[in-house]
């Protein structure tokens, strides 16, 4: 099977590409520049030059594959509405190019589309809080699902706010780097708000299962841990770095993390992965948790032991 993969050089996409090639799939990966192209070649992936602002061209390229996995996203929160418009345009183009093919089209979304969940744990049926800035991505998600009406096996995979592992991703390294610099691990106000999480290897396994077992119109939240208080994360960071965990105000958080990241650290985004577990047989590795990785795993090694 030939797979067209966007985001093939990214944190999640590169690991999907590796798993696909190891399983015998032929993979064409979207590369925005020569550096990304060289990275893909070394991984045994055929690079395809292009970017998300070329929807018609990408759709034509994707139509020659047997399956499409879309993990790329323009993370420009200063122009978030433009990122969403780019996603919608690409979904429309793919819907036309793949119409009637019944080809699998796996589209990446995020649990952030439901907005702030409060104390509730969101499922795939939860009605989004459309007043929250992150819920704008719900429009892109709906554009993706609309392609399932065109005879395409479209499946949406929502990633949790905190995808972690191998000392990578965005939010945990940012929190740890801030802790080292300021000599304290910050959380906002009470820190009782909670976020969902999953190890990147478990997330990648979820994509493979969705490719094999998913059905047109399915949505799956790949959340292995439904609710981790942000204060607990800061405390784990503090223990690892041997600095105190400390509450800061929302105004202070904007200075420490910036407005956008502070929004993530201040919100509740609790989400269940039960549907993926039940329907796909998704089974996150037992005993693997975000807090353990911070204190005893890849982040402890990268930050505490190497002096990063």
Same domain, 211 and 84: yes
The total number of structural domains that make up the chain: 2
Same domain, 118 and 177: no
Same domain, 253 and 129: no
Reported as a single tens digit per residue, the pLDDT across 257-293 is 999 999 999 999 999 999 999 999 999 999 999 999 9
Same domain, 18 and 107: yes
Residue 277 confidence (pLDDT): 98
Same domain, 189 and 202: no
The domain in which residue 188 lies consists of 163-196+226-271+281-305
pLDDT exceeds cutoff 80 at 308: no
- What's the CATH number where 211 sits? 3.40.50.720
Same domain, 27 and 113: yes
Q: Is the pTM of this model over 0.85?
A: yes
Distances in Å between the alpha carbon of 82 and those of 87, 146, 168, 193?
9, 20, 26, 29
Residue 77 confidence (pLDDT): 72
Same domain, 142 and 248: no
With respect to residue 12, please indicate whether it lies within any of the assigned structural domains.
yes
Same domain, 55 and 204: yes
Same domain, 212 and 177: no
With respect to residue 141, please indicate whether it lies within any of the assigned structural domains.
yes
Q: How confident is the model at residue 307 (pLDDT cuts 50, 70, 90)?
A: low
d(CA 248, CA 105): 43
pLDDT exceeds cutoff 70 at 305: no
Reported as a single tens digit per residue, the pLDDT across 232-260 is 999 999 999 999 999 999 999 999 999 99
Report H helices in the chain.
13-22, 34-42, 55-62, 80-97, 137-146, 171-182, 200-213, 230-241, 250-257, 259-266, 274-280, 290-296, 298-299
Which of 79-83, 129-133, 164-168 is the least confident region?
A: 79-83
Same domain, 202 and 189: no
With respect to residue 276, please indicate whether it lies within any of the assigned structural domains.
no
pLDDT exceeds cutoff 90 at 78: no
Residue 80 confidence (pLDDT): 85
Residue 17 confidence (pLDDT): 97
């Amino acid at each position: 099977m030939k797979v067209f993969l966007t985001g093939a050089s990214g944190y999640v996409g590169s690991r999907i590409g590796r798993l696909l090639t190891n399983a015998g799939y032929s993979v064409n990966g979207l590369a925005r520049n020569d550096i990304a192209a060289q990275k893909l070649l070394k991984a045994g992936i055929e690079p395809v030059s292009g970017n998300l602002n070329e929807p018609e061209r990408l759709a034509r390229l994707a139509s020659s594959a047997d399956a499409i996995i879309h993990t790329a996203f323009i993370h420009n929160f200063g122009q978030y509405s433009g990122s969403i418009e780019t996603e919608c345009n690409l979904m429309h183009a793919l819907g036309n190019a793949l119409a009637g093919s019944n080809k699998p089209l796996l589209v990446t979304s995020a649990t952030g589309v439901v907005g702030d969940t409060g104390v509730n744990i969101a499922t795939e049926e939860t009605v989004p809080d459309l007043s929250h800035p992150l819920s704008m991505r719900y429009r892109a998600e709906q554009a993706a699902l609309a392609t399932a009406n065109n005879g395409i096996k479209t499946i949406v995979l929502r990633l949790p706010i905190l995808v972690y592992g191998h000392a990578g991703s965005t939010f945990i390294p940012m929190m740890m780097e801030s802790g080292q610099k300021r000599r304290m691990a910050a959380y906002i106000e009470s820190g009782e708000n909670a976020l969902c999480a999953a190890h990147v290897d478990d997330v990648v396994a979820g994509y493979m299962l969705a490719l094999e077992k998913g059905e047109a119109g399915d949505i799956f939240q790949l959340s292995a841990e439904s609710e981790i208080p942000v204060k607990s994360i800061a405390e784990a960071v503090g223990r690892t770095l041997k600095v105190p965990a400390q509450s800061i105000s929302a105004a202070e958080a904007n200075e420490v993390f910036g407005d956008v990241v502070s929004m993530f650290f201040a919100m509740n985004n609790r989400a269940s992965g039960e549907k993926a577990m039940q329907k796909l047989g998704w089974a996150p590795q037992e005993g693997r948790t975000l807090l353990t990785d911070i204190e005893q795993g890849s982040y402890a090694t990268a930050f505490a032991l190497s002096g990063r």
